[in-house]
Chain A
Amino acid sequence: MAIEAQPGAGRMQPVAGGTENGRAWWMKPAVHTGIVGGIIGYLIGHWLGNALSYDYAQNALSDTNDVPIVLGYVFGTVGWLAGLGIFNDLGRLMLGKPLRDIEHAPVGGVAKYFRYTLDHKVVGIQYLFGMITYFLTGGLFAMAIRSELLSPTYHLMSSSAYLMVVGEHGTMMMMMMSSVVLGPFGQYFAPLMIGSKRMAFPRIEAIGFWLTPAAYIILLSGVLLGGFPTGWTGYAPLSVQAGPGMDTYAVAFGLMGISMILAGFNIIVTYINYRAPGMRWSRLPMFVWSMFTVSFLQVLAVPVLVAGMYMMITDRTFQTAFFVNQLGGSSYLYQNVFWFFGHPEVYILALPGFGVVSEIIPVMCRKPLFGYRTAAAGMIGVALLSFFVWQHHLFDSGINPDMRPLFMLTTELISIPTGFIYLVALGTFWKAKIRFTVPMLFCLAMYFNFLLGGVSGVFLSDVPADTTEHGSFFVMAHFHYTIMGGLIFAFMAGIYYWLPKMMGIKLNERLGKIHFWTMFIFFNSTFLPLFALGMLGMPRRVFEYAQNLQGLNVWVSISAFCLGGSLLIFLFNFIMSTLVWREKEVGNPWQSRGLEWQVSSPPPPENFEHIPVILSGPYEYGDPHAPPVADLNPPVGVVSAAYASSGAGLEG
């Protein structure tokens, strides 16, 4: 067990103070130097790409050249990371110089959030602001989509602009929201919930975050290049045929994939190795279980995506013909590679939502989580089975007909572990004392929404019925209910629950309730009719539809605008509460037994003064004889003794 009984021993001793603090703020590496590095990197990559491919016949004919674009983005990202100072420690190690003591250097105020930092709590807050930005940008594109769909005949934007907007919305959401809970809450609370002072690999964690603004900017720049016409799935051969905007999709998704792999890897190692003494697997909070299982999905499934994006790029630039039938490849290969990633991806989106709500409801019900082992088994079952269902996206595509009953079976089976989450929730509600706080309202809404989404998934898994439902707005409704209704509502619950812990500031409660009710009502009024639209024959990603469907579409669009308004209320609440009003909330407003709530709000820089000894699980409400969750000041020698007896070596 790698607990730091003697912190600092075994690493190169940092130079106290260093010259870091003596420099002016604009000379220290931060976002501004990152931007400079990014621009320089882009120019180098662009020049290199031109040098490599200037004489390709296809570029002369098409007046486009993808190689400088791709290399420009890749080198630009490396330059961005270099400008942020991420490679500085590596350089110092290689040159034999002492490392800068970044961890203990006193950086205060707002500046630290714009820097590369090794404190996982700062990275968590960076993720929080980043994810909210990405989510709202994706939402703006959704508003554009619904504006176009107000009329089947009058077209607000050209058909290619519409496809660009559809692709940007879908990709921004699917790419970014996979880290919307794992980033802000997973990274922030991973060590706190297991009683550790740090993440296993703080540098990897920071790199994982700083890749996300690069991916965001690259994806948005697709708008300047005319966008990409394939939607978020990027099916070949259309993606091989498409113009330069397609490269932004491939590079951005690839970068985000690398970020997810790094984050997942970090979490797995942290949870296995950095648990405090007494933190048995059976005492882990359910949120930790969800992060742990999600991390396995990320580490195992996301590399397939990165490979697929790479193959798409080489198909587009060097005619490698992986995915092109006409040149000897197979369009089915892309579909299988993409969905082998794509299905675990949607569980990467769903599982953190389960984790957040399962964490919050015991606190608000003042009861233990009903069926702890069942809940953990549900998460593990969902994660395992998610690798065996991907061909249900391909039921009508002409795959071997034998495959379809098989994948129908596995897809139906995955609803069993998903149901465990509901069993646990309903059991927790039994004879509870439910407090209707804003986080609890969002949790209840999450269960309501995900139920509709999950049941519609059962309809989709039935192959005969899928003949009508596949690729239609029915699927749209299904995944918006599960992802937005599930994950995003859980994210909102998490923000209202954990912001006092993270920043020592509480979100305005009255605005929170207004936000909840408007979001819940308009979310359902927007997405419930989509089930009907799909069954009535409206395919996805179309800008024209049958005349008789206009009424429903107008209703949906207006509801969507109101839903956007409710998110603006949230944004207003969030910005004003964190930046202007700043009502302090230090302490444990929810009277939670969670380990993270036993330290101050916000937590001290090292999380815990001493490594705690865990005495009981976090859900022991209602039991007067339950010991406190942890001893935060264990007697000297207890921690070392705990590890000496297990025979494992100490770090240092």
Chain B
Amino acid sequence: MATPGATAGSTRTNRDHGMRIFLIWLPLAVIADLLIWFVWKPHIPPGTMTSSAEHQQFDIAFMAILCAPVLLFVWTYAAYALVNWHHRVGDDTDGPPIHGNAKIQATWIGVTAVIVLGLFVFGTVELIVPAGAGAGEGPAPIWQPNTSNRLQVQVIGQQWAFTYRFPQFGGMESSTLLLPANTTVEFHVTSLDVIHSFWAYQLGVKADANPGVDNIAYTTTKNQLGTFTVRCNELCGLWHGAMYNYGHIVRPAAFEQWARSMQLTQARKGILNMMPPYSLTYDPTVIPQLGASIVKIDGITGGAGYYYPPQDPVTP
């Protein structure tokens, strides 16, 4: 025989239970939120080296502050239920036949909908304000930084290293990435073979590198000098795990000097003219210097001599 609660008595007891749960939850939630904001937030990855990193740090802190009370509510309620409402030895009766409560269900649905839609608005704003939040926006970016004074860096992903081309410095290419402080940077990420992903961790930039596609991401470096890590973030074959390099944010004058000297050295050695002209994507089967008379076999499968013009004695 079940013993469901009586009407008046259970209403008081219901409110009691609810109030107790609320009173346990509230201080826990407040403490958690304060800890998150004051203790954890300054250390939240990816740091504050650039504007996009800083915004991501804020986003994660904000969402943590929103989610911690939700987690704590479920945990508090569940713990309260498990402690108070567990089966007592010798009591083989059933619990009260409560099938539902329209008000509770409606409140729950309403509150979750408000939280979720609020997060959507927040996320959209945070996406637009930092000019795309460091994420790759494709070839036609909508959210761009306010300034047109941008350093352009092309990130070329190939199996298995990143190289960087600077069109504003004669198209010089480098296997290391230096960036000036206090500058808006426009990354053009592309690939020569399979899908890679340019993840500059402390810069808060991540953009996939697809062959034949120009994926643009923005960030603005701040006053903080230092080293950052670039890792490949999309499985690209055997050495994906080893496809990383370190980059540095240096003073603008030091950057100028480095870039100019690289440009001059490469011009002097002749390599600057040997590389293809700077372009937003590269078709690696087209070698401009060899012109249009390229003989290809099976499209793009390599093989000795099949790339050179027929009059060259190499081609069979």
Contact = CB atoms under 8 A, between A and B. Distances in A.
Contacts of A398: 136-139, 189, 207-208, 210, 213, 215
Given A365-B95, A371-B105, A455-B71, A401 B137 contact: yes
A433 B93 contact: yes
A187 to B, nearest CB: 30
Contacts of A331: 194-195, 210-211, 213
A520 to B, nearest CB: 14
A401 B98 contact: no
A412 B238 contact: no
Contacts of A89: none
A545 to B, nearest CB: 8
B205 A539 contact: no
Interface string A329-348: 00110000000000000000
B45 interface: yes
Contacts of A436: 86-87
Interface in A431-481: 431-436, 444, 447-448, 451-452, 455, 458-459, 461-468, 470-472
Contact of A539 (B59, B71, B199, B301): B199
Contacts of B101: 370-371, 427
A636 B121 CA distance: 62
Interface in A122-168: 159-160, 162-163
A413 B211 CA distance: 33
B270 interface: no
Contacts of A459: 60, 63, 67
Contact of A540 (B52, B75, B77, B235): B235
A526 B117 CA distance: 33
A57 B306 CA distance: 13
A422 B104 CA distance: 13
B239 interface: yes
A397 interface: yes
Contacts of A49: none
Interface string A231-255: 1010101100110000000000000
Contacts of A579: none
Nearest to A540: B235
Given A413-B116, A458-B67, A539 B81 contact: no
Nearest to A536: B45
Contacts of A607: none
B91 A455 contact: no
Interface string B171-186: 0000000000000000
Contacts of A434: 81-82, 85-87
Interface string B18-62: 000000000000000000000000001110000010011001100
B241 A159 contact: yes
A401 B56 contact: no
B298 interface: yes
A137 B116 CA distance: 39
A396 B207 contact: yes
Contacts of A231: 235
Contacts of B207: 396, 398
Nearest to B129: A464
Interface stretch (B162-170, B226-234, B251-259, B272-280): B226-234
A465 B52 contact: no
B240 A541 contact: yes
A57 B126 contact: no
B94 A621 contact: yes
Contact of A416 (B46, B97, B113, B244): B113
B231 A537 contact: yes
Given A398-B208, A539-B232, A368 B117 contact: no
Interface of B: 1-2, 4-5, 17, 44-46, 52, 55-56, 59-60, 63, 67, 70-71, 74-75, 77-78, 81-82, 85-88, 91, 93-101, 104-105, 108-109, 112-113, 116-117, 119-120, 122-124, 126-127, 130, 132-143, 189, 193-195, 197, 199, 201, 204-208, 210-213, 215, 229, 231-242, 244, 283-285, 297-301, 303
Q: Would you list the 5 A-B pairs with minimal beta carbon distance, nearest first? A: A542-B241, A464-B133, A398-B215, A622-B97, A367-B95
12 contacts: A159-B242, A396-B197, A400-B140, A415-B116, A427-B100, A463-B123, A463-B127, A464-B59, A465-B60, A468-B60, A621-B94, A623-B97
Given A461-B123, A535-B60, 18 more contacts: A242-B237, A319-B298, A325-B211, A396-B208, A397-B210, A398-B207, A401-B141, A423-B105, A423-B109, A433-B88, A434-B81, A452-B71, A455-B70, A459-B63, A462-B122, A463-B123, A464-B55, A470-B206
